[in-house]
Amino acid sequence: MRGAHFRGGCLFFSAAAAASIACSTGSSGSSGGATLPEADAATALPDAAGSSGSSGSSGGPSFGDASPNDGASVDGKPPVPNLVANGDFTQGNVLFGSDYAFATTNTAEGQYTVGINGQAFNGLLVAAGDHTAGSGLMFIGNGKATPDRVWYSSSAIAVSANTQYYFEAWVMNLCCASGLGDGVHPVGPSQLSFFANDVLIATRTSAKLGVWEGLSTVWQSGTATTVTLKLVNANTEASGKDFAVDDVFLGIESSVNPPK
């Protein structure tokens, strides 16, 4: 973002500070690197609220009808255990890392906060609550036009060998509430690459404005007994990429579309 006319690159997982700054223009940040490979074209499937998620070609499950960490799922089962510490950001800005710089007020691209409303972080963003409870914390960021890590696990997570895991996150495009775009479609839809132990699993796209979309991938542990996870920005266009992320998840059953 630049001055009062930021156009793209806001990465939001939840907003905690007041600001009236426009979305970033998406100029390149400093922590670049080679452009990441992207998965095949995504297909949107509806979730319970009528939103759509995007599924790549790597065999992830359909996007679903229940959110993680929200109490019993729609079929009455208890919540699926989540191996990601503070995946719902209820503990605040702890237990994860980011290549973005923490800020309470958005003054440049490549910044993020953990808060309750993206519009408080940047005045042009959509005002919306978190995915977990609607009034809690989420990760909110102003994305850059470089393939940086927007979120990564700060320590290795213990897993079982030869087991299938679901690595998932809920994402909402936040750009923009006014002044940029048409108010219906996101400016620069968010695109995230999911990595486990530094290996690309798949890239997922969320293509709606102001709607939570469940993004799901599948990881086979093989001989691994620990895993590190990361979500990397895969949209390197200059504009947009302003979104919130919540309920980052790793478990043996999908939190996006749990079995009945």
Per residue in 77-106, pLDDT (tens digit) is 677 799 999 999 999 999 999 999 999 999
Task: Judge whether residue 245 has pLDDT over 90.
Answer: yes
CB 255 within 8 A of CB 80: yes
Q: What is the mean pLDDT of residues 186-209?
A: 94
Quick one: how far is CA 4 from the chain centroid?
A: 25
pLDDT digits (tens, 9 = 90+) for 4-16: 334 344 444 443 3
pLDDT digits (tens, 9 = 90+) for 100-152: 999 999 999 999 999 999 999 999 899 999 999 999 999 999 988 899 999 99
Specify which residues 7 forms β-bridges with.
24
- The pLDDT assigned to 117 comes to 93
- The pLDDT assigned to 259 comes to 67
Report whether CATH 2.40.50.140 matches the domain 7-27+36-251: no
Q: Where are the beta strands (DSSP E) in 38-115?
A: 43-46, 52-55, 96-97, 101-102, 111-115
- 10 upstream amide cis, omega within 30 of 0: no
Task: Judge whether residue 232 has pLDDT over 90.
Answer: yes
Residue 92 CB contacts under 8 Å (≥ 6 apart), including other chains = 86, 114, 137
Task: Judge whether residue 174 has pLDDT over 90.
Answer: yes
Task: Judge whether residue 210 has pLDDT over 70.
Answer: yes
Q: Which residue has the tokens 């977990």?
A: 132
DSSP per residue, 12-60: EE---S----PPEE----SS--SPPP--SPPEEEE-TTS-EEEE-SS-P
Residue 58 CB contacts under 8 Å (≥ 6 apart), including other chains = 39, 40, 201, 202, 217, 218
Among 143-147, 157-161, 211-215, which is the least confidently predicted range?
143-147
Q: Which of 27-41, 67-81, 100-114 has the highest mean pLDDT?
A: 100-114
pLDDT, averaged across the chain:
77
Q: What is the mean pLDDT of residues 53-61?
A: 34
Specify which residues 204 forms β-bridges with.
192
Cα radius of gyration rounded to whole Å, the chain:
16
Rounded to whole angstroms, the Cα distance separating 236 from 166 reads: 26
- The pLDDT assigned to 260 comes to 59
Q: Categorise residue 110: left if φ over 0, alpha if ψ from -120 to 50, beta otherwise.
A: left
- The pLDDT assigned to 36 comes to 36
Rounded to whole angstroms, the Cα distance separating 224 from 198 reads: 13
Torsion of CA 177, 242, 184, 56, to 10 degrees: -160
Task: Judge whether residue 238 has pLDDT over 60.
Answer: yes
